[in-house]
Structure 1
Amino acid sequence: MNTVKPTTAGTALQTASPWRGTVAGFSASLVGIGLARFAYTPLLPALVGAHWFDASRAAYLGAANLAGYLAGALFGRSLASKTSTRFTLRAMMLLASIAFFACAWPVSFAWFFAWRFLSGVAGGALMVLAAPTVLAHVPPSRRGLAGGLIFMGVGVGIAASGTLVPMLLQQGLEQTWLGLGLISLALTLLAWWGWPTADAPVATPSHHRHAAPSGTLKALYVEYALNAAGWVPHMIFLVDFVARGLGQGLQTGAQYWVLFGIGATVGPLLAGLLADRIGFGRALRVSFIIEAICVAVPAFGLGSVWLMISSVIVGAFVTGTVPLVLGRVHEILAHHPARQTSAWQTATVGFALFQAVAAYGLSFLFSYSGGNYSLLFLIGTSAMLLAFVIDVVAVVQRSTPEHLLK
């Protein structure tokens, strides 16, 4: 009887809650990353214009969220182990919502910095915990679609940063923060009962010992980090490249950012569907090649049509690669489910670190080179191509018999 009960419970959980869990995961990525991080981009000039903070301090507030994100990614699992994953997910969504309300009043720079940092902590913890918790209860054949839907929340947040936030700003800066807080709170309530009550369904015991493919996993960490660097030219310099580099003005540059946001919204879903058809590993290699081509486009001055395509496709992969990497982690550690969450945490931390280093490094290089945009996009392209090469080498080494490698 002891062996029947957990299996029945696990099966019931698998069949009853996967899509409610997917909605909860979507809400978490929308609140923790989509709104908490990306909604700040159009708010920054408003903060300066309303004299809440000067330009340099407003920029530091953006960095506070990134620092908090790294902390949340590092310690999210530890926090969940001391309470429960479900409790932590609920608490982090509440924290992100409260942070929006707290930012409606510019009490002081320290007050604002603390709440922006805490919103980043919430985002990092949600990124590490939400998707793996939900996907553990989704049948393997549907994990690509479910992961795509979860990370669609990030893309929706990017799209909202160019549409919803400007509309809210018409009512005032304080009202904008309160409005974002109400939206986040509503999404928190929507997700509240959707989280699985157990960390994972009971796994079928394996009769064979499988060594964890650590080389392939380490290669994946490097590939994901290189992707973070490859996206930086579009994520930071795209609007400026169009506005000043091409001399088309800020309004036209903002239109390309909207295209980027549209791509980011649909990217995870399309990437997930592709992965369900051809597998996460193959889908990831296809994505590296497409990304390399599209990141290179601005460097060659191919015209507005190609630049529009580049904006949409790179935006799609900025969010679409996330479920691909998470699914690839599950593939690599299929026989080691207990290691999947910690591996995803390592990948997320590496991503956050490399993206921050690349952002500062490319910003310095841009200034040092006298505003050479093409150099930035070519460096991004090189990072994508290197990720592809590393992945191919890792796959070849894994499939080659050990005695041939000696």
Structure 2
Amino acid sequence: MSRQHAGVLFGGILFLVVAMGISRFAFTPILPFMRDDEGFSLEVGGWLASSNYIGYFVGALGAGFIYKKKKNFLMANVLINVISIIVMGLTHSFVLWILLRFIAGATGGFIFVLTSSIIMDYLATHLLTRWSGFLFSGIGLGIAISGLVVPFLESFVSWQGTWIGLGALSALFLCTTLFLWRRITVQDGEKIEKSGDTNIWKGFMPWLILAYGLEGLGYIITGTFLVDIIYNIEGLRAYAGYSWVVAGLAAVPSAPIWVTLMTKLSPIKAMSIAYILQVIGIVLPVFSQTAWGVFLSAFLFGMTFVGLVTMSTGYARQLFPNQSGTIVSILTTFYALGQIVGPILASKFEAHFNSFKAPLLFAGAIVALALVILVVGKWWSDQRQVAEDIIREKERARV
């Protein structure tokens, strides 16, 4: 890979660091500090998280309709996203927090879909698709950065200064990508009219979309409350921040690892393994409230959720290579729908049972259901395809 190609890819990675690792997931390690200082409940934290995911849903859905000047639109969204991060540290108003988390989510949805589409198309144009998995390492890198930076900054400037510091870091990443992308030209997309050959709502695709949506619902409960749960377990508070670093570091290499595994086995087998490991990681703190259990849970979470994002979007793009923007947008929209519901349900379960175990068991069950839908859907669509092929052969024989 040439220096220019590597720079373009690295710029995309930095945008995912900003939109996913910092704008979205820095909220996870900051949440316990905000709750301590501001005195709000886990349920309030769930509403703040869901506001972000509602915004992400809007952004992901809207990104599917952006066909022209994608690069300029993307840059504008990153700038607004950075501003929303900084302003989080300048107010104590719950109403403004809700609005800011929504703005961060909406711009994050646009950033994720447009960055993924631009980089995937760029790599495909230059015959470098084998490097596409590295793009999603930006999610894990951002999580690791937030896990390291948040407790460090908070010890000096409290949670308010932490948001501002993260915003400044995000601004630096934006400027870096502007420099790296200064020479690339993004071709305008074309709206593809629906036809029998491009209908994504046939065959296996609806099953993949549904499974991916349930994955969004299940994983986000751990993704939102993992640090807060550990922070409030007696004897494990010291490990809370480190657990998020472990999750991020595990996520960094996970995308290329899972892409490689997907080519050696098959997309469905690789995704099934990831789902199984994620279920184990989600429910592990229910049965083991020890340091090793916490770190293993965080490791399995980080290793699998980025891998499932990479494999699901990559496999969908293989099925519909000419509709990368639309495919990623639809998948991300259903993923975001699950994320909206997840934190709210988790906080309700926690309040009703007065235990962190209930939401984790619920999350594990949802991800297990996603696995069942994925496997059953693949089997059903394959059987249907075989039946359709037999019918076609019979019709040809009659002619």
TM-score by length of structure 1 reads 0.79
CA positional deviation for 1:350: 0.5
Q: 8 Å contact 1:73–1:121 — kept in the other structure?
A: yes
Aligned to 2:395: none
Question: Does 1:290 pair with 2:274?
Answer: no
Q: Which amino acid aligns with 2:166?
A: L
Distance 2:347 2:35 in 1: 21
2:149 counterpart (140, 164, 170): 164
Aligned to 2:168: 182
Higher-RCO chain (CA-CA 8 Å, sequence separation at least 6): 2
Moved more, 155-164 or 305-314: 305-314
Q: 8 Å contact 2:214–2:367 — kept in the other structure?
A: no
Query: What are the within-5 Å matches in structure 2 for residues 88-167 of structure 1?
Result: 88-106=73-91, 108-139=93-124, 142-146=128-132, 148-167=133-152
1:144–1:296 distance in 2 versus 1, CA, 3 Å: farther
Aligned to 1:219: 207
Distance 1:211 1:119 in 2: 32
CA positional deviation for 1:384: 4.2
Aligned to 1:42: 29
Q: 8 Å contact 1:68–1:124 — kept in the other structure?
A: yes
1:86–1:403 distance in 2 versus 1, CA, 3 Å: closer
Q: CA RMSD in A?
A: 3.5
Percent identity over paired residues: 23
> Where has structure 1 moved over 6 Å in runs of 4 or more?
none
Aligned to 2:397: none
- Which whole-Å deviations, capped at 9, do the CAs of 1:99-125 have from their partners, x for residues lacking one? 233334227544444333222221011
Aligned to 2:326: 342
1:299–1:393 distance in 2 versus 1, CA, 3 Å: farther
Query: Unaligned 5+ residue runs, structure 1?
Result: 1-13, 203-208
Distance 2:72 2:61 in 1: 18
Q: Which amino acid aligns with 1:342?
A: T
Q: 8 Å contact 1:291–1:313 — kept in the other structure?
A: yes
Query: What are the within-5 Å matches in structure 2 for residues 246-257 of structure 1?
Result: 247-257=234-244
Moved more, 67-76 or 173-182: 173-182
Query: What are the within-5 Å matches in structure 2 for residues 245-324 of structure 1?
Result: 247-275=234-262, 277-278=264-265, 280-298=267-285, 301=288, 305=292, 308-324=295-311
Moved more, 114-123 or 294-303: 294-303
Distance 2:82 2:230 in 1: 34
Q: Which amino acid aligns with 1:353?
A: L
Distance 1:377 1:72 in 2: 24
1:86–1:162 distance in 2 versus 1, CA, 3 Å: same
1:355 counterpart (333, 339, 346): 339
Moved more, 150-159 or 391-400: 391-400
The total of aligned residue pairs comes to: 379
Query: Unaligned 5+ residue runs, structure 2?
Result: 191-195, 393-399
CA positional deviation for 1:296: 4.8
Q: 8 Å contact 2:231–2:240 — kept in the other structure?
A: yes
1:239–1:118 distance in 2 versus 1, CA, 3 Å: closer
Q: 8 Å contact 1:39–1:161 — kept in the other structure?
A: yes
Moved more, 57-66 or 299-308: 299-308
Q: 8 Å contact 1:230–1:383 — kept in the other structure?
A: no
CA positional deviation for 1:142: 4.4
- Which whole-Å deviations, capped at 9, do the CAs of 1:106-158 have from their partners, x for residues lacking one? 27544444333222221011111111111112149743532x32221211222
TM-score by length of structure 2 reads 0.80
Classify the secondary structure of the residue corresponding to 1:215: coil
